[in-house]
Chains A and B, each alone.
Chain A
Amino acid sequence: MIGTLVFILTGPILWAAELTAIYGAQSSLCAFGAVPQVTVGWLVIAISLVLLLADIVAIVRPFPLFNLLVGGSPPPDQRAFILGAMRGLGSLSALAMLYFMLAATLLPACAQLR
C-alpha cells in the first residue's frame, strides 16, 4: 500500500525534494558567502534539471518505478486511475519545478533586489 501511494505521489515528492534542496542550498550558501552567487545560481538550475528529468522519466515510463516500489503491476481495475493520478500529479509538479528553475535563470542568486 505504501508503495502504491508513494508511486502516485512521485511528482510531488520530487517537487518537495527540489524545493528543499534549492532553497536550503541557496539560502545557506548565500548567507555564508561560501561560493560566488553565479555558482549558486547554476547549482539551483542543476538540481532542478536533475529532479525535473527524473519526474519526466517517471511520467513517460511509470512501470519500472511501480515495480520497484510495489513489486508487481497495478491491479487491473485500478490501473487507469493509479497511472492517471501519478501522471497528472507528475505533470503539475513538473510545471511547478520549471517555475522554480525559471526563477533561477532570471534572477541573481543572492542579491536583495531592493
Chain B
Amino acid sequence: MSETTNTDLPNDGPRPEAELEELKRIWATPRGFRLFTAVNNTVVGTLYIGAAFLFFILAGILALLMRTQLAVGDNQFLSQDLYNQIFTTHGTTMMFLFAVPAVEALGVLLLPQMLAARDLPFPRLSAFAIWAYIIGGLVFFSTIFFDMAPKGGWFMYPPLTLKEYSPGDNADFWLLGIGFIEISAIAGAIEIIVGVLRTRPPGMTLAKMPIFAWAMLIFAAMIVFAFPAVILATMLLEIERTFGWPFFTAARGGDALLWQHLFWFFGHPEVYIIFLPAAGLVSMMIPTMAQTPLVGYRLIVIALIATGFFSFGLWVHHMFTTGIPGLSLAFFSAASMAVSIPSGIQVFSWIATMAAGRQKFRITVPSLFILGFLFIFVLGGLTGVMVAVVPFDFQAHDSYFIVAHFHYVLVGGMVFPLFATFYYWAPMVSSRMLSERLGKWAFWLMFIGFNTAFFPMHITGLSGMPRRIWTYPSNMGWDILNSISTAGAFIMATGVLVFIIDLIRNFRLGEGGPQNPWNAGTLEFLPNGVYSTRSIPHVTSREPVWDQPGLAEQVEQGLHYLPNAPTGGRETLITSAIEAKPQYVLQMPGPSWTHVIAAAGTAAFFLLLTIKQVNIAVACGVLAIVACLVWTWQLDRPDQGEVEVARNLRLPTYMTGPLSHSWWAMIVLMLVAGSLYLSFIFSYLYLWTVSPDVWAPAGSPALPILAYPMASAALLIVGTVLMVVAGKRLPRPGHRSFAGTALLTLAALAMVASIVIELWGLQETGLNPGSSSYAAMVYMASVLQGQIAFVVLIMCLFAGARLVTAQLDNRRRVTFDNAALLYYYAAAQGLFGLLLVHGFPRLLG
C-alpha cells in the first residue's frame, strides 16, 4: 500500500498491521459462558432489543386473550379477576418493559455507531441496567402465571391499590418491580446524555448531530426529570401499604389525587419519551429512502426540544374529570393543543423530504412501515387534539375512544417505526438482511390488522363502552364492533408472526453483512468491527458518507483519529459538547462479572422485599453493594500521560473537574435526585393545601424545639467543610493519607448524625407518621435524606479506602470529586428539608 500523507486527514498511512490486531484483541467479545460479562454496546444493545421484543410478544399475547374475552358480550372465557391481572400486566409490560427499553436499546445499539464512538462512556453501567431489567422484567411478568399479577391498571390508582382494597402482594410486585426497572432506565439516560454530548467525533458540532442523537438526548433528559416523580409515588404507596403512612388516605389528611399528579407528571412525558426516539429514527430513515437531506433539520430539532418541554405541562389532561377547577383544566387543555404544533412540524418536514426526493424515493419495507406510521400517528394525533378539548374529554374519558387514541399514537408512533428500524438497521448486526417479501407481508397484515382492531374502538367508545371492563352486556349494541376489533387483533398478530418467521429464517448475528445497503449518509454504516470504526472520523457535514468522498476507505485505513489503542485498553475520544473538539482519551472498562452480580443482587433485593423475605432481601442487597464496590474499584485507571491520537495531536488520558465525563454523570445524577426531591416538596405543599387542618402548628403535636434542626443543620455544614478541607489536603501521587480518610469518614458520619438528631427531635414530640399525612410527610423527608446519606456514606468510605491504598491523590482525584459532589448536593437537600419541615409551619403559625 502506498504511503498516504494527506495533510487534510488527521493521520498518515499506512498504519501498522499490529494496530488493527491489537484493536481486535482488546475489543473481542467474550466467548461461551463469559458472554454474560460482555459490555460492548453491540452485544448489550442486541440483547436489550431482543429482550424488549420478547416482552412485546408476551404482552401482545395478553392482548389477544383480552380481545378473545371481549369478542362477544357476556363472555366467560376469562374471569373478572384474571382479566384485571391481564390488562394490568399488558399495559405495564408494554409501557415499562417494552416501549421505553426498546428505544433505550436502540440508543445503546445505534448511538455509538452514529457518533463513531467505540462505545458508550460507561459500558458496564448499561450492561448492569440491562441485566437488572431482564431479571426484574421476567420475574414481574411471571406473576401472571401464579395469580400474583397486579390488577389495579398500569397506572395503579389508590385507593383501589391501598392495602384495604388490594391485599396480598400483587400490587407490591408492580411497586417494587417497576420501581427498580425505572432505576435501570435512569442509568441508561445518564449514559446517553454524557455519550451524546461528549463522545461525538471531532467536527460533529451540535448543528451536525444526527437527528436520532438529538432525539435520544432529549429522551434521556426527559427521563431524568420525569421518572423521579413516579419513583417517589411508588415509594409513597409502598410505604403506605407496608407501614400505614397515610399519603393517599383522605380520612387522615392524604389525597388519592396526589398519586395521580405524581403519576401523570411522569406518565405524560413517558409517552413522548416513547415517541421522540421513534421520530428521530424516522428522521434518519426518510432521507435515506428519499436519497436527499432532511428538509428542515433545524425545525425538527426545535420541534423535538419543544415537544420534550411542553410534554411536562400536559399531565392534568389525564385528570380532567377529577373535579379540578375550570381554569386549571384550561391551562392544560391549552398546553395539550400547543404540543401538537411541534409534532405537526415534524410530520410536514418528513412529507417535504419525501417530496423533495420523490424521483428517487424507494418503496421498501422500512419506507412502508414509515408511511404506515405517518397515517396511523397523524390519526392518533387528531384524536389527541379532540380529547384536549375539555368538554369533549368529559364524554370520552375512560371510554374506548381513549383506548383507540392512545393505541393509534403509541403503535403508530413507536411500533411501526420500530419495525422499520428492524428492517433498516438489521445489516448492522446481522450478516444477512431481512426479507423484503416477508417484510411486505408483515407490514400489510400489521397495518390492516391494526386499523381493523382499533378504528372501531373510536365508535364503541363514543357509543358508551367504558375501558377496563372484563365483559359487557350483549344488548348494548357493541358486539359487532368488538368482534371486528378482535378479528383485527389476530390479523395484526399474524403480521408479527410473519416478522418472527423472517427473523428466524434470515437474521444471523455477526459481521460480514452488506456494508451500506440503503446508501445512507450517516456514520453507522461505515465499516465496523467489534471495535466500532477502525478510526474515528473527522466530520464536516450532517451526511458525511454522502458529502466526504472516500470517507469509508479513509476510516478503514486508520487515517482519522485514534486508529489504535495507545493506552493498551478500551478507549474512545471525548470531545467538547458544543464544537466537538477533541479533549481527552477516555479509558473504559471491559467485560466483568461484577456488574452482572450487582444487577442480579439488585433485582433480588427488590423482588424478595415484595414477598416480604426481608432477611434474604437484605443479604442480596449487600451482595449487590459489594459487587458495585468491586466494580468501581476497577475503574479510575491511573493517568498514562498524553498519547498521540492524530498527527500533531496528543491528548491526556485522565481528566478531573468539570471537563470530566465522570463529573457530568454525577451532575446528571444530582438532577435526578433533585427532581425526586422537588416531587417531594410538591407533594408536601399539595397535601398542605388539601388538608391544612392536619398541618402543624395547629393540627399536630408541637414542632421540635429549634435546637434539634439547628444541630442537624450544623452537622451538615460541618460535614461540608470537612469535605472541602479533605479536597484541599489530598496527598501527592504515590502517597497515602490516613488523615484524608478520617476527614471523609467524619464527614459521612456527620451527615448520618444529622438525620439521627432530626428523628430524635421528632420522636420527642410524639409525632407518629401513621397519624396524618402531615406526619407522614415530615418523616418522609428523613427517609429521603437517609437514602442519599447511605449512598454518600458508601462513597466517602470508598474514597477513604482509595486514599489509604494510594489510589487517590491530588491529581488522580475523580473518586473524591464524585463523593464530594454528591455530599454537597445531599447537604443542600438536607438543609432545604430542615427549612421546609421546621420553617414552613412556623411561617404559617
Contacts and interface: CB of A to CB of B under 8 A. Distances in A.
The answer to whether A and B come from one shared complex is yes
A38 interface: no
Interface stretch (B33-41, B334-342, B618-626, B796-804): B334-342
B331 A22 contact: yes
Contacts of B579: 75, 78
A41 B312 CA distance: 23
Nearest to B309: A12
A28 interface: yes
A111 B207 contact: no
B310 A108 contact: no
Contact of A110 (B298, B309, B325): B325
Interface string B422-455: 0000000000000000000000000000000000
B741 to A, nearest CB: 33
Contacts of A107: 326-327, 330
A50 interface: no
A100 B313 CA distance: 11
Interface in B302-345: 302, 305-306, 309-310, 312-313, 323-328, 330-331, 333-335, 337-338, 341-342
Contact of A84 (B298, B327, B341, B685): B298
Contacts of A32: 689, 692
A88 B310 CA distance: 14
Contacts of A106: 330
Contacts of A19: 313, 331, 335
A95 B312 contact: no
A42 interface: no
A100 B333 CA distance: 9
A113 B326 contact: yes
A93 B338 CA distance: 9
Contacts of B326: 107-108, 111-114
Counting contact residues on chain B (CB < 8 A from A), the size range is 35 or more
B301 interface: yes
Given A9-B305, A111-B325, A111-B326, A95 B331 contact: no
Interface string B206-226: 110000000000000000000
B310 A15 contact: yes
Given A16-B309, A31-B689, A96-B334, A103 B327 contact: yes
A108 B330 CA distance: 11
Contact of A15 (B205, B309, B325): B309
A89 B726 CA distance: 44
Given A27-B325, A78-B579, A9 B309 contact: yes
A1 B576 CA distance: 8
Contacts of A89: 302, 305-306, 309
- Scoring B205, B206, B325 by chain A CB atoms within 10 A of each residue's CB, the highest score goes to B325
A92 B685 CA distance: 31
Contacts of A23: 328, 331
B577 interface: yes
A23 B324 CA distance: 11
Interface in B549-594: 576-579
Interface string A67-91: 0000000010110011011001100
A88 B302 contact: yes
Contact of A92 (B298, B328, B342, B578): B342
A85 B305 contact: yes
A78 B578 contact: yes
Interface string A31-49: 1100000000100100000
A89 B327 CA distance: 25
Contacts of B324: 27
Interface string B330-363: 1101110110011000000000000000000000
A93 B342 CA distance: 11
- Scoring A16, A19, A22, A30 by chain B CB atoms within 10 A of each residue's CB, the highest score goes to A19
Nearest to B302: A88
B299 interface: yes
Given A26-B328, A114-B326, A85 B337 contact: no
A109 B327 contact: yes
Given A19-B335, A28-B689, A78-B206, A103 B325 contact: no
A75 B205 CA distance: 10
A44 B327 CA distance: 10
Contacts of A111: 325-327
Contacts of B690: 31
B330 A103 contact: yes
A104 B207 contact: no
Contacts of A113: 325-326
A8 B221 CA distance: 15
Interface string A1-15: 100100011001001
A41 B305 CA distance: 30
A102 interface: yes
B313 A16 contact: yes
Contacts of B299: 88
Contacts of A93: 306, 309
B335 A96 contact: yes
B689 A81 contact: no
Contact of B298 (A30, A41, A85): A85
- Scoring B334, B579, B685 by chain A CB atoms within 10 A of each residue's CB, the highest score goes to B334
A79 to B, nearest CB: 10
B578 A4 contact: yes
Contacts of B302: 84-85, 88-89, 92
A99 B325 contact: no
Contacts of B205: 75, 77-78, 81
A108 B327 CA distance: 7
A28 B326 CA distance: 14
Contacts of B333: 103
Contacts of A84: 298, 302
A73 to B, nearest CB: 13
Contacts of B305: 8-9, 12, 85, 89
Nearest to A29: B689
B331 A78 contact: no
A62 to B, nearest CB: 15
A9 B304 CA distance: 12
Contacts of A8: 305
Contacts of B576: 1
Contacts of A110: 325, 327
Nearest to A113: B326
A85 B325 CA distance: 36
A12 B338 contact: no
Given A1-B578, A85-B305, A92-B342, A99 B328 contact: no
A28 B327 CA distance: 13
A99 B338 contact: yes
Nearest to A4: B578
B298 A81 contact: yes
Nearest to A102: B334
A104 B338 contact: no
Contacts of B301: 85
B236 to A, nearest CB: 20
B323 A112 contact: yes
A52 B324 CA distance: 26
Contacts of A26: 325, 327-328, 331
Interface string B148-180: 000000000000000000000000000000000
Given A15-B313, A31-B689, A104-B327, A99 B334 contact: yes
A107 B326 CA distance: 7
21 contacts: A1-B197, A12-B306, A16-B312, A19-B331, A23-B331, A26-B328, A26-B331, A41-B327, A75-B205, A85-B298, A85-B305, A89-B302, A92-B306, A92-B338, A103-B330, A103-B334, A107-B330, A108-B327, A111-B327, A112-B326, A113-B325
Interface of B: 197, 205-207, 298-299, 301-302, 305-306, 309-310, 312-313, 323-328, 330-331, 333-335, 337-338, 341-342, 394, 576-579, 685, 689-690, 692
Given A23-B331, A96-B338, 11 more contacts: A12-B309, A19-B331, A19-B335, A22-B331, A32-B689, A44-B327, A88-B299, A89-B305, A100-B334, A103-B330, A112-B326
